[in-house]
Amino acid sequence: MKSKEPLKLTLTERLRKSALELGAEIREKLKKQVGLLAADQATILQGLGVLDPKGNPTARLDAVKGAAMARLTQEDWQKQRDKMLKTCNGCHSINFAKAELEKGDQMIKAADALMAEAIRIVAGLYKDGLLAKPESYAYPFPDLLTFHDAPTAIEQTLFVMFLEHRMRTFQGTFHANPDYALWYGWSEMRRDLTEIKRGAGELRRKK
């Protein structure tokens, strides 16, 4: 009777099997992480009105493209990243510069996850009819570009979270000032999110 699998594997075979299993696990985790990051970025673009609530481009996207307000392709983004690396390399090793910029990228991804969560909470209030769509809004969805004219207290908090506290997180991180990024940016974003959750909870209890 033939065994389906050898009872004893050599050390090399065991290591190879473990490496393959670990590699598969890492690939699945990365795939999930990339999916979450893409979803967070899409939610923020919806909050900016660049995408509609269904994820389709709006007229604002044309305005962003025309004014070159954002780097919308990998090529454009990489061009600016390479320019920054060249500047940093004037004093630091290229590996150090890359590592520091990558740390910054991770910080912004974490901040965007908080931001996207907050936007989804407010969007949920619109979806469930707990917030009425203002006449000036194209969709029943929070619009970050209403700035100080945001029509509700919870959206005022969302506006400050994005245009003040997320910006401080970004600026502090990429100016190599972790203290500023943490206390004046990230920490304030956490407080904003807590306040938005509290406000949403009150609105739902009053329903």
**CATH number, residue 62:** 1.20.850.10
In a domain, 41, yes or no: yes
Is pLDDT of 196 > 80? yes
Q: How many domains is the chain built from?
A: 1
In a domain, 131, yes or no: yes
In a domain, 5, yes or no: no
| Confidence band of 44 (pLDDT split at 50, 70, 90) | very high
CA distance 78 to 84: 10
DSSP-derived letter for residue 148 is G
| Confidence band of 71 (pLDDT split at 50, 70, 90) | confident
In a domain, 122, yes or no: yes
- Cβ 181 vs Cβ 199: under 8 Å: no
Chain mean pLDDT for the chain = 86
Domain span at 165: 21-205
What is residue 57's three-state secondary structure? strand
In a domain, 10, yes or no: no
| Confidence band of 65 (pLDDT split at 50, 70, 90) | confident
Is pLDDT of 90 > 50? yes
Neighbouring C-alpha atoms within 13 Å toward the C-beta of 11: 0
